[in-house]
Amino acid sequence: MWAAAEQTPFSHLAGSEFPIKNLKLPKSFGYGAATAAYQIEGASTQDGKGKSIWDTFSHLEPSRTNGENADITCDHYNHMEEDVQLMKSLGIETYRLSISWSRIIPLGGRDDPVNEAGIAFYNRLIDTLLEHSITPSVTLYHWDVPEGLYSKYKAFLNTKEFRADFERYARLCFTRFGDRVKSWVTFNEPYIISIFGHLNGSLAPGHCAEVGTETATEPWLVGHTLILSHASVVQMYAREFQPSQNGKISIVLNGHFYEPYDETKQTDIDAVQVRLEFYVGWFGDPIYLGKDYPAVMKEYLGARLPSFTPDDLDLLKVTCPINGFYGMNHYSTKFVRQLMDLPAKDDWTRNIEESSTNSKGEEIGPASSMPWLRLAPSGFRKMMNWIWDRYHLPIIITENGCPCPGEADIKIATDDHFRQRYLGLYLDAISQAIYEDGIEVQGYYVWSLMDNFEWSSGFGPRYGIVHVDFQTLKRTPKGSAYYLQETFQARRNDQTRVEERP
């Protein structure tokens, strides 16, 4: 499916040497923007909101978040109408948002009180979106579990308790919002929740070997909890809500694509597939295929990896066809090589090393302001092929974007040519995947609508297509916002020329 002549270019992807082709997209192809509640809402204690693990993590001393927090951030909670009007002016058709669990159930538990003020906010948001002809796509969980549940039983580390509390939370959302919301996501990026939250500790709740948590087993238990909680909620939605609400539900998985560090070494060639199975197959195989974990994971991890019971496998088999789409978050591509030395006891990659440079010293692509995030559209196209071949579900690109080098400078921030080139090349890759590879890709949601609190990096990296002055909260659309508005109109009308915007 992938033309051999197009497999090799990794570097010099910017500038005239690698021009945007402005390839066409289907007229029905959807254009959206995405955000997460904790990153943009602010109003951390307003109107009865409870604490989440991110409210706790971002206030630790010494700081784990660059000395910053999201108590105010973009203050979307109090600027919601303005933000929806801005989306409308920029031609955004779908808004992927997340709900703050602790805003609507402050303590989080299945027997805990509901905060009607939080419910009212999300009702206003959904209604305002629909009044502006913008489709809401709602993520139930984007990393901000209520602190009450973490304090009570460590959240994901107690599968039984978490499943029950997540089911109650999801049922509340389906009941209060499902008459208008027709697209649901259970969890955003379970890989990140498991590894970054419970192994290297860079994200909340910050579990890592340095603080004495059991990193050899915790990430796999967390992943297990997320898979089964997802399946339980999908089954509930299908039985109790889908017949009358006619919505669709799925999960969002992230993943890099990989190329062999040394293309002459079979071990590095094999490492590509292994890394993809440890990253994507870990969740994708049980959820989308109704199968056990990939064999390579079971063989390597042994008793570290929890086992599915017969009842669990029955649930996965029943719910796998209910998932209505593959939610794909993708940002970049890396090289991988198989290491031969003794792995750490909590190794999570099968001793595979990732890098941005291969054995010849070639870079995978030009770097954004985040060294790991490189412009590599050929890897994006290959990733769509890998997902389609394995799961054969319609794909929605639920997150894709980048921060520009030097974007702290307001002029670079608004004249964001690097981002425009990145977005244009990645949209070209989608067109090639659709028309040349036969993949069903239904839509694209840029990350992110606006600059926001970038988790442990604080307010440094700016991924937004709208610039936010975090002192005045003024919103200013960047060149990329207008570029996307114009390029989607042109590509879906099969026009061929869209200039980068100053």
Coil, strand or helix at 184? strand
Helices 282-289 & 190-198, crossing angle to 10 degrees? Answer: 150
Q: For residue 149, which amino acid is it? A: L
How confident is the model at residue 499, as a pLDDT? 60
Sequential pLDDT tens for the chain (502 residues) = 223 223 333 333 444 457 899 999 999 999 999 999 999 999 999 999 999 999 999 999 999 999 999 999 999 999 999 999 999 999 999 999 999 999 999 999 999 999 999 999 999 999 999 999 999 999 999 999 999 999 999 999 999 999 999 999 999 999 999 999 999 999 999 999 999 999 999 999 999 999 999 999 999 999 999 999 999 999 999 999 999 999 999 999 999 999 999 999 999 999 999 999 999 999 999 999 999 999 999 999 999 999 999 999 999 999 999 999 999 999 999 999 999 999 999 999 999 999 999 999 999 999 999 999 999 999 999 999 999 999 999 999 999 999 999 887 777 778 999 999 999 999 999 999 999 999 999 999 999 999 999 999 999 999 999 999 999 999 999 999 999 999 999 999 987 655 656 6
Give the C-alpha separation, 160 to 152, whole Å. Answer: 13
How confident is the model at residue 9, as a pLDDT? 32
Q: β-strand 135-141 against 94-98: which pairing, if any? A: parallel
370: CB partners within 8 A, 6+ apart: 402, 403, 461
How confident is the model at residue 275, as a pLDDT? 98
- What does the chain come to in residues? 502
**Can you list the domains of the chain with their CATH numbers?**
4-492 (3.20.20.80)
Which helix (DSSP H) or strand (DSSP E) does residue 336 occupy?
A: strand 333-338
Question: In Å, how far are 55, 69, 80, 334, 471 from 72, measured between CA atoms?
Answer: 11, 8, 13, 35, 10
User: Taking a C-beta distance cutoff of 8 angstroms, is the pair 23, 427 a contact?
Assistant: yes
Class of residue 389 by CB neighbours under 10 A (exposed 0-12, middle 13-18, buried 19+) = exposed
Question: For the chain, first and last CA: distance in Å?
Answer: 37
How confident is the model at residue 495, as a pLDDT? 75
Question: In Å, how far are 192, 289, 343 from 220, measured between CA atoms?
Answer: 12, 19, 17
Cis bond before residue 62 (omega within 30° of 0): yes
- Just list the catalytic residues: 189, 399
User: Taking a C-beta distance cutoff of 8 angstroms, is the pair 400, 329 a contact?
Assistant: yes
